[in-house]
Each structure stands twice: as structure tokens, then as C-alpha cells.
Amino acid sequence: MIIAVMTDKDGNTLSFYESGFVKLFSNEKGTWNCIEEFRFELNEEKGLAGIQSCIQSMLSRLDECRILMVKFIKGVPLSILKESGISVWKVDGSPMAFFEHIREEEEKIRLEHQKSIKPVLPEPLPVGDTKHGIYTIDLVHVQAKAAGFNSKDVLLPFLQKQVFQKLEVVCEHLPKWFEKELESLKLQFRIEESKDDLFHAIVSPIE
């Protein structure tokens, strides 16, 4: 993790509106060390355009760093930073006293964000033009990439709602629920021979 800090010449946190330095600190082997620094001065004389230009210049120097520690900031600069994906922490004094706390809190935020993201359910893909109604899905690949999904999670919504002429399902073994559910949906299937040691089940409507 890299944390950027607005500092004065003594290394203490500085207001965003004062001239000073931006120092980038990285945690290496449990120790926070400054890996880069550059001067920064917010140009407010040219209004919003000047503020935006200064901040964009600073952001280009931050690279992948997305955490900034300052003594004070508000208004337009704070909004621009937040809209740019920067997490801003207001602290007063030596940054060394706050690095571990910020690292722990940012990790909590990251984990909570991951929990809130709903995984996208994989779906069969059309082969050629969708008007032909031909689809395919490789369950071996899907379950290798998204272990949380089972074959029923992936296939049943498609089989229940999608109008299609043919669906090829590539799998290591036929799902136990396959035959019963297909029958209830007035669908049929056959197994095509293949040289890849996998099942290629071809599903189609019963005519």
C-alpha cells in the first residue's frame, strides 16, 4: 500500500492550501519509508481552472496511489479528489503515527466493498447472429473462473426464459438435475461425440 502525505519542511501534515511537499510512503517489511516526493502549491488565483490543473498534475504523479493524508481540506479540491477516486484522511501532526491506522481502515473498506459487489452470473453466449437462436456455454471454464456458481445457477435461468433453437453445454459430467428439469421445460438433449474427453450436450426444444 502507498499513502501520499501533504507535508511541511519538517515532515508534519500540511493544509492542502499551503505550499509544501507531497511525499509518497510505502510499507516495506513493516516499515513506512518515503519512496518519492515533489513540491506542491495550489493555484487558486486562476479560479476553478487553476485548481483543477494543479490537482490533475498532482494526480499524475501519484500514479497508483489512491490515499492522501492532509491536515485540512474542504470544498472544491476535496470534491475533485473524491471524484478522482482518492481517499482523503485529515490528520494533524507526524504522519508516522497514523499510517497503520489508515492502512487497517482502508483494508476494512476494501473488504466491505468486495462483499457488496454482486457477482455477475455467467450466461450462454450466442453463436453468430442471435436471431439464429444458437448458443454455447463451457461449464468447465465457467466453474474454473467462478467456483461459487453451480451448473443449475448458470443454466436454469437461461433454459426457463430464453427462446433458443440449440444450446451446446460443455461439461465434465452431466448435471444430476439435467434430465428431469429439461423434461419439465419440454426440452431434450443428446450427447455429441468429442475428442476432448468432455461431454457436449446439445439441448433443443421438443418439437
pLDDT for position 130: 86
pLDDT digits (tens, 9 = 90+) for 164-181: 999 999 998 888 899 899
Q: Which residue has the higher pLDDT, 45 or 35?
A: 35
Angle between helices 75-83 and 47-62 (to 10 degrees): 40
Phi and psi at residue 5, in whole multiples of 5°?
Answer: -135, 130
Give Cβ neighbours of residue 121 (< 8 Å, ≥ 6 apart): 149, 153, 154, 157
Length of the chain equals 207
Secondary structure (3-state) at 92: coil
At 141, phi and psi to the nearest 5? Answer: -70, -45
Q: What is the pTM for the complete model shown?
A: 0.59
Domain ranges of the chain: 2-116, 125-205
Q: Is the pLDDT of residue 12 over 80?
A: yes
Architecture of domain 2-116: 2-Layer Sandwich (3.30)
Question: What average pLDDT is seen over the chain?
Answer: 90
Look at residue 115 and tell me whether its pLDDT is greater than 90. no
What pLDDT score was predicted for residue 146? 67
